Amino acid sequence: MFEARLISSGILKKVLDAIKDLLNEATFDCSDSGIQLQAMDNSHVSLVSLNMRSDGFDKYRCDRNLSMGMNLANMAKILKCANNTDTVTIKAQDNADTVTFMFESQNQEKVSDYEMKLMNLDQEHLGIPETDYACIVRMPSHEFARICRDLTQFGESVVITCTKEGVRFSASGDSGSANIKLAQTSSVDKEEEAVSIEMQEPVTLTFACQYLNSFTKATPLSPQVSLSMSADVPLVVEYQIPDLGHIRYYLAPKIEE
């Protein structure tokens, strides 16, 4: 028996919004420690890694490890039927071929449940080693989203250059070029508005805008985002989901031919 309850459906909607741009379907691996998902986009250029800890749920029970393959468009149809303030309970029997989403209104006067067929998906799991990154940039998530959106107008790729002075995002194309520099903030009223840089050595890497923009769909999950970079390894874009876990995106850098 698997049962996981979140006080607000809104958070699950945000999680789904953060992954469904990149993935059509995905396997949710449920265990005692929580719900994990690791999946690559169709082109195998980027990867989503989601972790929702069991202690982040209002109620969590997982008697046996369970892998639930879900069509994310169908899951989105179901979550559309919930109000953000509804409680959501995800339920499945051991070895079941369906999962049930139950929504309860705050006053408990409306209870709805939706059953969805599960899918058997081929799992292609990548082993991602612990890595010490040359640069870790932390910044407001809305700022990162804005930069990605703005630079997409000027080129297909963004060059990210990180030094101890700051981080620079650049794009260029037929119409011209664009550069955005962010310095480390010296003092801020709110911690989530800070820009900070941990640097071992400077890094310059190029990434496809299309994927970066998909990653920013996670912006509503977290006020801050971190970008971890080293020469010639994939970028990690991480959003901490308060009291629940994290979502990480990996993106292979582009290589000049």
Partner 1 sequence: TSEQPKLGSYYEYE
What residues make contact with partner 1 under the rule CB under 8 A? 40, 43-47, 124-129, 157, 206, 208, 233-234, 250, 252-257
Closest CB 129 distance from partner 1, rounded Å: 8
CB of 256: closest distance to partner 1 in angstroms? 5
Minimum distance from CB of 232 to partner 1 (Å)? 8
Does residue 10 contact residue 2 with C-beta atoms inside 8 Å? Answer: no
- Decide whether 182 or 236 has the Cβ nearer to partner 1: 236
Phi, psi of 41 (to 5 degrees): -70, 170
Q: Least distance in Å: CB of 211 to partner 1?
A: 9
State how far the Cα of 119 lies from the Cα of 232, in Å rounded to an integer: 36
Of 36, 73, 57, give the one whose Cα is nearest residue 248. Answer: 36
The nearer residue to partner 1, 58 or 124, going by C-beta atoms, is 124
Amino acid at 154: F
Task: Give whichever of 45 and 96 is closer to partner 1, judged by the CB atom.
Answer: 45
DSSP category for residue 217: G
Q: Nearer to partner 1 by C-beta: 76 or 128?
A: 128
Residue in this structure with the two tokens 């179901």, named with its chain if needed = 78
3-state DSSP assignment of residue 212: helix
CB 11, min distance to partner 1, A:
28
Q: How many whole angstroms separate alpha carbon 130 and alpha carbon 126?
A: 13
Nearer to partner 1, 27 or 224 (CB): 27
